[in-house]
Structure 1
Amino acid sequence: MAIITLTTDFGLKDPSTGAVKGAILSELDTANIVDISHLVAPFHITEAAYIIKNTYSSFPKGTIHIIGVDSEITPENKHIAVQLDDHFFICANNGIMSLIASEIKPQKIVEINIHDTVETNFPVLDIFVKVACHISRGGTLEVIGRSISEIKQLKDFTPIVNQEQNQIIGHVVYIDNYGNVVTNISRKLFENERKGRDFKISARTVSLTKIYENYSNAINFTIPKEERREDDGKKLAIFNSSNFIELAIYKSNPSTVGSASTLFGLKLKDTINIKFY
């Protein structure tokens, strides 16, 4: 049974998501459709890339991932199908795959060319669904596109190490449901550049000099609870489950006490600096 995942910026109110699912089942009634997220910020490909990059490998090999973010076809935004890590991705060639495939080379890339035979003003519904169902039936990528060797690169969101190698400049790439702020600075990059030195993380109103392995490590549970003064609301940095540096507030709640995003004044694309001493 084919597994087809959906990641879009369609939201939960409009009919788009339901129409796409219906189209898949009309072509392939045995399909197993899995929603990854439909709440990606509109046209925000870096946010979508973070979600997919940290989700797809949990699915079985051969899973087909439809990415409906910034998918309108233009001369500068063609459609592609990519085989990567034995998974298949169908999306626009808008740079999103360069972020997903930043550490793994694609096995195959084709530029989809079935548009002349399909009338559409909704490419996810009319093009991506047809490609996904073709792949799920065992069809090859060459049938629905011409092979290409490169995908569009997004270099603006790659962390930069300065010439003196005492500073990493990264960005906010994701803000989760708790308002925690995820950066594009990986544990691997941080440790490679740190070389045992002290450091300071700076981002707008916050400065931090320690990174924890998880949220609870920031709390000293040897002190009786009634004597601890900085449990809820404590500012901290952690290596999150995807091994990226994340800025957080212990037990934050964006709708009540606030979150790292609101209290630190951080939003998507904001700069994060790490200096080594």
Structure 2
Amino acid sequence: MAVITFLSDFGYRDHYVAAVKAKVLSLDPQVQVVDITHAIEPFNIAHAEYVFGAVFRDFPEGTVHILAVDTQGCKRGKFHATKYKGHYFLLADNGLLSLLTDGKPELVVELKSDTPYAPSPARDLLAPAAVFLAKGGDIDVLGDRTNNIKQLFNRQLRLSDHAITGHVIHVDRYGNLITDITRDSIETIAHGRTFTVHFGRETIGRIYPNYNQVDDGDCCCAYNSEGQLCIGINKGHAAQLLGLGFDSQVDVRFYPGS
């Protein structure tokens, strides 16, 4: 049986997470449910896309993922099951699917429901579908195939011979600013040239292996495990201290010579 993961914006104060898990276990007590997080900011599709996109590929192919974020975000009450890169996603038609797959999911079905506008779609619709798929069920049994999904679009990097312009796409709990600028994009444009990173009123001329390579309170740039350029302050909260946050602009500028 495949693993089921669970990510939501339900938080940890109420019974909502337990209710979904109870439904899963009532259908199959042997299923393994792995929590990714339930601290996604309420209704925040961009937050969910970053967190889930950073980790789902680490799970084995065939894993089934319940993505219960902004589950009431579609007025038409549409929910989808999709297959993408060997994984199954179950989620509302709120644009998250298009962000995770760059608008190109391999296969999408619109979930059939006996109770339209269910008060708890994660419990009543997504959980049973997840158990069905985890036990090897055919996704086409869950509904009719569709190409009609809500489209949202990720920001694209602006690249030139001498600069990259990107944006902050996530602020983690330590206040580090994660950008959409990647190691690969910098190395491709640099061709061995020196460069500086510009954000707010700050300029950094070096990328460090990690934040503790600078003194406490100092700002630095580093790559995370996904190869994304990050801005942090050693033992400090960069977002608060720099006055930057989601969608703040970050520039990398390249200079002649090496």
**TM-score (structure 2 length as normaliser):** 0.89
Kindly state the Cα deviation for residue 151 of structure 1 after the two structures are TM-superposed: 4.7
Residue aligning to 1:61: 61
Q: Deviations over 1:217-262 (max 9, x none)?
A: x34xxxxxxxxxxx11221101111110100112x2xxxxx31111
The 2-side partners of 1:207 and 1:152 are apart by 39
Give the corresponding residue for 1:271. 249
Corresponding residue for residue 225 of structure 1: none
In 2: Cα distance, 1:165 partner to 1:156 partner? 22
Q: Match of 1:108, as an amino acid? A: L
Q: Please give the alpha-carbon distance, in whole angstroms, between the structure 1 residues aligned to 2:149 and 2:210.
A: 35
- 3-state DSSP of counterpart to 2:23: helix
Please state whether the residue corresponding to 1:111 is helix, strand or coil.
strand
SS of equivalent residue, structure 1 residue 185: strand
> Aligned ranges for residues 65-144 of structure 1 at < 5 Å?
65-72=65-72, 74-75=74-75, 78-102=78-102, 106-112=105-111, 114-117=112-115, 120-144=118-142
Q: Is the 8 A contact 1:77 1:94 kept in 2?
A: no
- Residues 5 and 165 (structure 1), Cα distance of their counterparts in 2 relative to 1, 3 Å cut: same
Of residues 174-183 and 12-21 in structure 1, the stretch that sits farther from structure 2 once superposed is 174-183
Identity %: 35
Who is 2:238 aligned against? 260
Name the SS for the 1:200 alignment partner.
strand
- Conserved 8 A contact 2:77-2:116: no
Count residues in correspondence.
255
2:231 matches 1:242: no
In structure 1, give the amino acid aligned to 2:207: I
15-24 or 201-210, which deviates more: 201-210
SS in 2 for 1:269: coil
**What is the letter of the counterpart of residue 177 of structure 1?**
R
RMSD value over aligned CA atoms?
A: 2.3
Tell whether the 8 Å contact from 2:73 to 2:92 is kept in structure 1 after alignment.
yes
1:169 corresponds, among 165, 169, 174, to: 165
Residue deviations 1:131-188 (CA, integer Å, cap 9, x gap): 1112122211111122234754432433233xx4433222222222221111111222
Aligned to 1:148: 146
Q: Report if the CA contact (8 A) 1:9-1:40 is conserved.
A: yes
* C-alpha contact 2:77 2:117 (8 A) present in aligned 1: no
The DSSP-based 3-state class of the residue aligned with 1:83 is: strand
* Alignment correspondent of 1:223: none
Amino acid at match of 1:148: T
Shift in Å, 1:197: 3.0
Q: Is the 8 A contact 2:74 2:93 kept in 1?
A: no
Matched letter for residue 93 of structure 1: D
Which residues of structure 1 form unaligned runs of 5+?
A: 220-230, 253-257
* CA distance in 2: counterparts of 1:267 and 1:69, whole angstroms: 21
